Amino acid sequence: MNFKTMNRKTLGFFLSVLISIFCLGGTFGCLPAYAAHEDLLGSWNNTGTTGTGSKEAIIDFVNKVTNQSGDYYVPPKDRIAVFDNDGTLWAERPDYFQALFIEENREPVSTAKFTKILKTTKKKIDTNGDRNISDEIKSFLSDIAVFDGITTDSYISQAHDFVYNQKHPEYDAEYIQLTYKPVIGLVNYLKANGFKVYICSGGGVDFVRSFAEDAYGIPPEKVIGSAVKTKYDETEGPGGNLVRQPMLAQYNDQQGKPVGIERHIGKRPIIAVGNSGGDLEMFKYTNVGEDTSLIVLINHDDCDREYKYNDIPGGANGENESLDEAEGRDNWIVVSMKDDFQTIFESNPQRPTPNCPPQ
């Protein structure tokens, strides 16, 4: 094995797994999760510095479900964690990066074509009473119309090129540099403690698959997202290929997230990590008990290093119903990006101008 060329995040995870194997096979028994893998949460602040206690609450829950002699032990086969993507694993401002990808690579779709797809979509999904189709899904519907007729391989290649080579409009950094270091650390911490980690995104599944394994260590088969219908065409290269069709196959935001989780995983998660009202149904689906489930809500309250939005419960327009739901629940952790994160971005790019509103 060539350690010199190994990806830094991959190497860190590899070493943590070796520690786990040694621990499980040793004569002294396994150390608690906190003692064995605290370094993977090194970019989180501790209580007593500026931290709100989020780091310790996460560690306490993981210790509880991995303690074989405890009342709440969960075997590894049932340790499922799901993460939203936009605003949870990487940034989502000033617009969803998939929406910016559409603008960068193709001419805007005609209003008539988009309206037709939107109407068709509304007929096929349950809009959950008064809840409208989310802005993230509207971006995805534009994606359906714009990239109609190309192969999935071609789409993934174009998306990968965009994420790795185009720069964010407000940071002097490529989009791939705007991943959240503490949340990736949480992904690796859970893996090191026997969790199977999945992405459950409202964004397009092929868009997220174009970079998720390199960025987060989460392979394509563990990415759940909104999807278009495809058609097999055996004339498209050796072995044929799948060609994108102008129809929605899976709505994976809001009430669609639990459906996607059940369809792809077949088990209910015990940890869900997200940041918005679009994750509310995923949170509720995961929340089966105070001692047996954990909800982690990433709150965007840092206008200096990132963005400040939807960060106060009881928003006038219901911007983030998940914050309202979290109030008074002990197993719903609201993570302050401002107070709990030592560093936000992996590469620590600087913003030309902070995003702080006038006081």
Chain length of the chain: 359
Whole-number pLDDT of residue 33: 40
**DSSP 8-state assignment for residue 86:** B
The string of DSSP letters for 137-196 reads HHHHHHHHHHTTTSBHHHHHHHHHHHHHHSBPSSSSSBGGG-BBHHHHHHHHHHHHTT-E
Whole-number pLDDT of residue 28: 39
Whole-number pLDDT of residue 37: 82
Q: How many CA atoms within 13 Å lie on the side-chain side of 246? A: 15
Q: Is the pLDDT of residue 122 over 70?
A: no
> Measured between alpha carbons, how far is residue 26 from residues 19, 23, 29, 69, 70 in Å?
10, 5, 6, 17, 20
Tell me: the pLDDT tens digits for 280-300? 999 999 999 999 999 999 999
Q: Is the pLDDT of residue 31 over 50?
A: no
Whole-number pLDDT of residue 18: 55
Confidence of residue 113 (pLDDT cuts 50, 70, 90): low
Q: Is the pLDDT of residue 2 over 70?
A: no
Across 16-30, 114-128, 321-335, least confident range: 16-30
Q: Is the pLDDT of residue 74 over 80?
A: yes
Percent of the chain with pLDDT over 90: 64
Token pair for 268: 């209910």
Cα 143 from Cα 245, distance rounded (Å): 11
Peptide bond into 94 cis (omega under 30): yes
- Beta-carbon count within 10 A of 356 CB: 11
Higher per-residue confidence, 341 vs 355? 341
Cα 254 from Cα 325, distance rounded (Å): 14
> 180 has which bridge partners?
345
Whole-number pLDDT of residue 36: 60
Contact of 44 with 54, CB cutoff 8 Å: yes
The string of DSSP letters for 250-316 reads E--STTHHHHHHHHHT-S--SEEEE-SGGGHHHHHHH-S-TTT-EEEEEE-B-TTTS-B-S-SSS-T
Percent of the chain with pLDDT over 70: 80
Cα 273 from Cα 84, distance rounded (Å): 6
Tell me: the pLDDT tens digits for 202-225? 999 999 999 999 999 999 999 999
Q: Is the pLDDT of residue 229 over 90?
A: yes
- CATH code of domain 3-94+175-225+251-340: 3.40.50.1000
Whole-number pLDDT of residue 13: 55
Mean pLDDT value across residues 94-113: 78
The string of DSSP letters for 198-234 reads EEEEEEEHHHHHTTHHHHHS--GGGEEEEEEEEEEET
Whole-number pLDDT of residue 135: 77
3-class DSSP assignment, residue 357 = coil
Q: Structure pTM?
A: 0.86
Whole-number pLDDT of residue 178: 97
Tell me: the pLDDT tens digits for 150-167? 999 999 999 999 999 999
Contact of 126 with 255, CB cutoff 8 Å: yes
Confidence of residue 48 (pLDDT cuts 50, 70, 90): confident
Tell me: the pLDDT tens digits for 239-253? 999 999 988 899 999
Confidence of residue 24 (pLDDT cuts 50, 70, 90): very low
Average pLDDT, the chain: 85
Confidence of residue 23 (pLDDT cuts 50, 70, 90): very low
Confidence of residue 59 (pLDDT cuts 50, 70, 90): very high
Q: Is the pLDDT of residue 198 over 50?
A: yes
Whole-number pLDDT of residue 216: 98
Confidence of residue 1 (pLDDT cuts 50, 70, 90): low
Contact of 329 with 295, CB cutoff 8 Å: yes
- Specify burial of residue 28 (Cβ count, 10 A radius: 0-12, 13-18, 19+): exposed
Contact of 224 with 248, CB cutoff 8 Å: no
Contact of 294 with 331, CB cutoff 8 Å: yes
Mean pLDDT value across residues 294-323: 86
